[in-house]
Amino acid sequence: MAVLCKPAIAVPEHIITQDDTLELARRLHKDHSQLKLVLRLIEHTGVLKRHLIQPIDKVLKHPGLDARSAVYEQESKARVPAVVRQALDQAELEARQIDLIVYVSCTGFMMPSLTAWLINTLGFRSETRQIPIAQLGCAAGGAAINRAHDFCTAYPDSNVLIVACEFCSLCYQPTDLGVGSLLSNGLFGDAIAAAVVRGRGGTGVRLERNGSYLIPHTEDWISYAVRSTGFHFLLDKRVPGTMEPLAPALRAVADQQRWNAGELDFYLVHAGGPRILDDLSRFLEVPPEAFRFSRATLTEYGNIASAVVLDALGRMFEEASPREGHRGLLAGFGPGITAEMALGTWTAAA
């Protein structure tokens, strides 16, 4: 059975605190008619600090999509290799033992994908398969785990590397002044995460089942408007309420495994904001403490898009709380509105 091993996480060196964010909002948008609402929403995110690939003065400037694309390529090539090497070490594998790389990112675009550069640079075999995923947004972390699981189910002796590279700060748009956009400016952070799914052996989450669910007719609730200036993030005010229709989908996947979604040992879910975690606690009837790993990610790093689920998993590894046979749920939520869900059992290598 496929095992999701300990992930490697890296956040960049430039830090912006919540106090910094609030002060910037007051200074840059002092005449905004809904400034008080924006400040209150940012305060309620629970995000105390975020990490950025550039100093904030550079983030606030917009040099154009071509310049931002160059930064994305330069920074990803500079930062991803060390994270990949750490993930391989933690899975006790070498690059040549990887059969598929799933690379997810919704904050920059390259063609060919960074996967081609990684194969050529880090010693992966030329036969290594590639799956770049760009348009699932924050759900892509869950999707990457699920596609790795599918591959290892089809090819049981295979190993899959997952890489999530999210530089959300490159999507800042100084002319987007809607409440949703200004809230996003205080929510998203930059991070890189990587993990290996081993077809055989390994310590971590043994993947048992996965599933997807799309809430009908919500495709315009989370989206990008792609313009000459780049990606303009659009966030509908109805998004925070999406856990009510998604909770039954989580329960349904667990039911297929004959598990009760409200009685699991661990929960690793995308922390898009505090209400998502609060609502899941209520609708799944589990204590708020069950989402402590996701909440810690949100507090310390902000919403790091597709990397959230892997960071939450890393925090569970560090806490060393799971025991052999403990059962859990992993889930990413993103545009569509889409949920990518997985069930797993903790296992330790013999």
Contact 322, 348 (CB under 8 A): no
Tell me which long-range contacts 250-258 makes (C-beta under 8 A, separation of at least 24).
250/280, 250/284, 250/329, 250/331, 250/339, 250/341, 251/284, 252/211, 252/213, 253/209, 253/210, 253/211, 253/341, 253/343, 254/329, 254/343, 256/209, 256/211, 257/208, 257/209, 257/343
Strands 190-198 and 3-4: antiparallel
DSSP codes, 255-297:
HHTT--TTS-SEEEE--SSHHHHHHHHHHHT--GGGGHHHHHH
- Could you tell me which of 203, 121, 129, 137 has the C-alpha nearest to residue 161? 129
152 catalytic per annotation = no
- Could you tell me which of 348, 341, 345 has the C-alpha nearest to residue 146? 341
CA distance 257 to 335: 26
Q: Token pair for residue 180?
A: 């949703």
Q: Token pair for residue 126?
A: 């030329």
Residue 188 DSSP code: B
CA distance 189 to 59: 12
- The type of residue at 165 is C
Residue 348 DSSP code: -
Catalytic residue among 106, 138, 165, 171: 138
Q: State whether residue 214 is helix, strand or coil.
A: strand
Q: Token pair for residue 75?
A: 């920074």
Chain centroid, CA 294 distance in Å: 10
CA torsion sign for 160, 157, 312, 234 is positive
Number of Cβ within 10 Å of residue 318's Cβ equals 10
Residue 306 DSSP code: G
Q: Known catalytic residues?
A: 138
